[in-house]
Amino acid sequence: MRILDTKNFSVPGFKTWGIHCGIKKEVKKDLALIVSDREAAVAGVFTRNRVKAAPVLVDMARARSGKGRVIVANSGCANACTGKRGLSDAHATAELAARELGVKPDAVYVASTGVIGEFLPMQKVATGISLATGLLSPSGWEQAAEAIMTTDIYPKLSVVREEIGGKTITVAGIAKGSGMIHPGLATMLCFIVTDALIPAPALKRALLSSADQSFNNITIDGESSTNDMILCMANGAAGNKRPAAGGKDIKKFQACLDAVTRSLAMQVVRDGEGATKFVELTVQTAKNPVEAKRAAMAVAKSSLVKTALFGEDANWGRIMVALGNAGVEMDEARTDIFIGKAKIVEKGLGQGKAAEREAALALKQREVRITIDLHKGKAAATVWTCDLSYEYVKINAAYRS
């Protein structure tokens, strides 16, 4: 597998673009189109929040068919908590795109992100779809990635190439964060395309597994949004032969998909609202994988741990508090904690000034690694998080104004 530069790549059989059509108040891109030149297999993963935005409801129904050709995504308005009118706006968006592009409305998936409780400005959406259709390009991915941003600082892209069944295939994705990031997704949109031929059921299995080792291992503030989704389209333009279930081709495809989702998930954390640190947190020697993940997430989402990280303070007591609250088997007197390479806690006890000084140095870096040994079993889990800064409060206090 080769990891490609995200400047000006293309994926055979796909065109895309992103434009500004006035959904956002500022002059920033706010509508993206992704179009396959032929019918593609489609798989989706959707928010587990009970409150689901209109586009999520539309796409969950569409995805049952396992096929499609187009994604229309807007930022600036979430079309969430908008009732029947919101649902009819989401359908109307799909119909507008279908008409412009000469496809059936059933083949069009819709996605939205932005403020909750406002209606889509349908006149602007119509203009935007028409405008974007005219500009569609095989190498428009950066424009599309920009058009789905909200409080994100930079666009998020990832692309890899691999040989499968004698053919070169490409897997590429774009994503947006950046608040409300938590397992079970986030205000997180992620669109992945590939020219590989992958039947829809295999695509769905691969996507679920891939989400579990990427987007479901990150947390920014412990919330899952109404609008989160990952959509993946596989259009077969590469001409590879159908990969056998469990065979080496499907494994290679899985590896490509995993590389893309993991890269995008990490980009989302790095660009977390107000984040100044990227933190990789591993809990090992936990009783079982579920407890390992639960313990890691409990520490990763603790406001007290996250503010200490922002303050570059090796306050391991707060890590211990979060572990004690995690609802997993742990015993203070067996627990070891490392910050970077510094073992600051051994068997539940602080290891003194020298270890704290070494940990303090590690905490001054932009990237921080925390490792926790519970000595209760053999399971491990790694999650990614960021710190909690003044900027997070500022962004979220002022978001709608």
Residues near its own copies (CB under 8 A) are 49-52, 78, 80-83, 115-118, 179-180, 184, 221-226, 302-304, 307-308, 310-311, 313, 315-318, 320-325, 330-333, 345, 347-350, 388-390, 392-394, 396-401
C-alpha–C-alpha distance, residues 224 and 60, integer Å: 17
* Least distance CB 400 / its own copies (angstroms): 5
Strands 278-286 and 367-373: parallel
* Least distance CB 188 / its own copies (angstroms): 13
Specify whether 133 is catalytic: no
C-alpha–C-alpha distance, residues 372 and 328, integer Å: 13
- At CA 303, angle to CA 298 and CA 306, rounded to 5? 90
What DSSP letter does each residue of 68-107 carry, written as one string?
EEEEEEEEEE---S-HHHHHHHHHHHHHHHHHHHTS-GGG
Annotated catalytic residue: which of 6, 187, 219, 371? 187
C-alpha–C-alpha distance, residues 399 and 280, integer Å: 28
Judged by CB, which is closer to its own copies: 162, or 221?
Answer: 221
* Least distance CB 45 / its own copies (angstroms): 16
For the CA atoms of 353, 355, 357, 361, the dihedral, rounded to the nearest 10 degrees, stands at -170
Judged by CB, which is closer to its own copies: 221, or 258?
Answer: 221
Q: At what angle do helices 303-310 and 316-324 cross, to 10 degrees?
A: 160
Alpha helices in 237-338 (DSSP H): 248-270, 289-300, 303-310, 316-324
Judged by CB, which is closer to its own copies: 66, or 350?
Answer: 350
The helix (run of H) or strand (run of E) holding residue 46 is strand 31-46
C-alpha–C-alpha distance, residues 80 and 76, integer Å: 12
* Least distance CB 379 / its own copies (angstroms): 18
Map residue 166 onto helix, strand or coil. Answer: coil
* Least distance CB 187 / its own copies (angstroms): 9
Judged by CB, which is closer to its own copies: 68, or 177?
Answer: 177
Q: Which residues are catalytic?
A: 187
